[in-house]
Amino acid sequence: MRVAVTGMGLVAPGAVGVEAFRARLAEGQSLAAPIDRFDTDGLRVRAAAAVRDFKPRDFIAPMKMRRMNLLSRYGVAAAKLALEDAGATLPNTAGVAMGTAFGPVQTSVDYMQEYVEKGAALAPPQLFAESVANAPGSHIAIEHDLRGFNVTITQRESSALAAAMYAAAQVVKGVVPAALTGGVDELSEMVFSVLDRVGALAEVARPFDRRRNGFAVGEGSAIFVLEAEPSRAPYAWLSGFGIARDTTATISDWGSDENAVVTAMRAALDDAEIAASDVDAIYASANGGVRGDAVEARAIRALFGESAPPVVALKGLFGEYAAAGALQLAAAILAVKDQTLHKSVGFEEEGVGITPNQELRTTNLQHVLVSSLSAGGGIVTAVISKESA
Work out the percent of the chain whose per-residue pLDDT is above 90. 88
| CA atoms of 360 and 147, how far apart (whole Å) | 41
Q: For the purposes of burial, counting CB atoms within 10 Å of the CB of 46, is it exposed (0-12), middle (13-18) or buried (19 or more)?
A: middle
Nearest residue to 342 (alpha-carbon basis) of 23, 5, 20: 23
State pLDDT tens for residues 160-185: 999 999 999 999 999 999 999 999 99
Please give the average per-residue pLDDT across 131-148, as a whole number.
96
pLDDT of residue 120: 76
DSSP string, 194-206: HHHHTT-B-SS--
Nearest residue to 219 (alpha-carbon basis) of 325, 109, 88, 66: 325
Bridge partners of 237?
4, 385
What CATH number is given for 3-385 in this structure? 3.40.47.10
Domain ranges of the chain: 3-385
CA-CA distances (angstroms) from residue 87 to 23, 81, 253? 22, 10, 41
| CA atoms of 64 and 66, how far apart (whole Å) | 5
pLDDT of residue 125: 75
pLDDT of residue 187: 96
8 Å CB contact between 373 and 379 = yes
Which residues touch 107 (CB under 8 Å, ≥6 apart)?
A: 69, 71, 127, 130, 131, 135
In the predicted structure, residue 115 carries a pLDDT above the cut 80: no
User: How many C-beta atoms surround the C-beta of residue 362 within 10 A?
Assistant: 9
| CA atoms of 129 and 121, how far apart (whole Å) | 15
Q: What is the pTM of this model?
A: 0.96
User: How many C-beta atoms surround the C-beta of residue 339 within 10 A?
Assistant: 15
